Amino acid sequence: MLFAGDDRTEATIPPQVSPESLAQAYVRRVTHALEQRDRWRRAAPRWRIHQEFVRALTAPVSEALLAAAKPAPGETWLDVAAGVGDPAVSVVDRVAPSGRVVMTDLVPDMLRAGRDKAGDRSGGLLPVAAAAEALPVKSVFDGVTCRFGAMFFGDPPVALSEIRGALAPGGRVVFAVWGDREQNPYFTEIDGALRDVIPDLPVHEPDEPHVFRYSPSGKLSALMETTGWVDVDELETPLTMSVPISAGELWDHTVGLSVEVAGMVEELGADRAVELKSIFERRVARYFPDGTMRMPAVVRLVLGRAPN
Ligand SMILES: C[S@@+](CC[C@H](N)C(=O)[O-])C[C@H]1O[C@@H](n2cnc3c(N)ncnc32)[C@H](O)[C@@H]1O
Residue 140 and residue 171 in contact, taking contact as beta carbons nearer than 8 Å: no
Query: Do strands 141-147 and 125-129 pair parallel, antiparallel, or not at all (unpaired)?
Result: unpaired
Is the CB of 148 within 6 Å of ligand 1? yes
Residue 41 and residue 107 in contact, taking contact as beta carbons nearer than 8 Å: yes
- Using DSSP, how many helices (H) and how many strands (E) does the chain show? 11, 7
Q: Which long-range contacts (CB under 8 A, 24 or more apart) does 48-56 make?
A: 48/84, 48/109, 48/113, 48/116, 49/256, 50/253, 50/256, 50/257, 51/84, 51/85, 51/113, 51/114, 51/117, 53/243, 53/245, 53/253, 53/257, 54/83, 54/84, 54/86, 54/257, 55/86, 56/243
Please identify, by atom number, the ligand 1 atom nearest to the C-alpha of residue 61.
8
- Give distance in angstroms: CA of 308 to centre of ligand 1: 28
Report which protein residue has its CA nearest ligand 1's atom 7.
86
Please identify, by atom number, the ligand 1 atom nearest to the C-alpha of residue 54.
9
- Give distance in angstroms: CA of 106 to centre of ligand 1: 7
Percent of the chain scored above 90 by pLDDT? 82
Mean pLDDT of the chain: 92
pLDDT one-digit tens code per residue, 247-289: 999 999 999 999 999 999 999 999 999 999 999 999 999 999 9
Is the CB of 154 within 6 Å of ligand 1? yes
3-state secondary structure of 236: strand
Domain 19-305: give its CATH code: 3.40.50.150
Please identify, by atom number, the ligand 1 atom nearest to the C-alpha of residue 211.
1
Please identify, by atom number, the ligand 1 atom nearest to the C-alpha of residue 44.
27
Percent of the chain scored above 70 by pLDDT? 94
Check pLDDT > 60 for residue 3.
Answer: no
Residue 285 pLDDT: 97
- Residue 11 — very low, low, confident or very high, per pLDDT cuts 50/70/90? very low
Choose the weakest-confidence range: 19-23, 123-127, 128-132, 227-231.
19-23
Cis ω on the peptide bond leading into residue 169 (within 30° of 0)?
no
Choose the weakest-confidence range: 24-33, 143-152, 197-206.
24-33
Q: How many residues does the chain have?
A: 308
Residue 12 pLDDT: 43
Please measure the distance between the N-terminal and C-terminal CA atoms of the chain and give it in whole angstroms: 30
Is the CB of 107 within 6 Å of ligand 1? yes
- Give distance in angstroms: CA of 198 to centre of ligand 1: 28
Choose the weakest-confidence range: 32-36, 115-119, 125-129, 279-283.
32-36
Residue 13 pLDDT: 41
Please identify, by atom number, the ligand 1 atom nearest to the C-alpha of residue 130.
21
Q: Work out the average pLDDT over 53-72.
A: 98
Check pLDDT > 90 for residue 35.
Answer: no
Report which protein residue has its CA nearest ligand 1's atom 27.
83
The residue extents of the domains of the chain are 19-305
Is the CB of 258 within 6 Å of ligand 1? no
Residue 16 pLDDT: 57
Residue 23 pLDDT: 80
Higher-confidence residue of 215 and 154: namely 215
Residue 8 pLDDT: 39
Residue 1 pLDDT: 32
CA 67, 181, 199 angle in degrees (round to 5)? 150
- Give distance in angstroms: CA of 158 to centre of ligand 1: 16
- Residue 25 — very low, low, confident or very high, per pLDDT cuts 50/70/90? confident
Residue 142 pLDDT: 98
- Give distance in angstroms: CA of 33 to centre of ligand 1: 12
**DSSP H stretches of helix in 98-174:** 108-117, 156-166
Across the strands, what pairs with 100? Answer: 76
Residue 15 pLDDT: 47
Please identify, by atom number, the ligand 1 atom nearest to the C-alpha of residue 159.
19
- Give distance in angstroms: CA of 81 to centre of ligand 1: 4
Check pLDDT > 50 for residue 296.
Answer: yes
- Give distance in angstroms: CA of 110 to centre of ligand 1: 9
Q: Helix 19-49 to helix 247-257 angle, to the nearest 10 degrees?
A: 130
Please identify, by atom number, the ligand 1 atom nearest to the C-alpha of residue 176.
8
Residue 2 pLDDT: 35
Report which protein residue has its CA nearest ligand 1's atom 8.
147
3-state secondary structure of 254: helix
Is the CB of 54 within 6 Å of ligand 1? yes
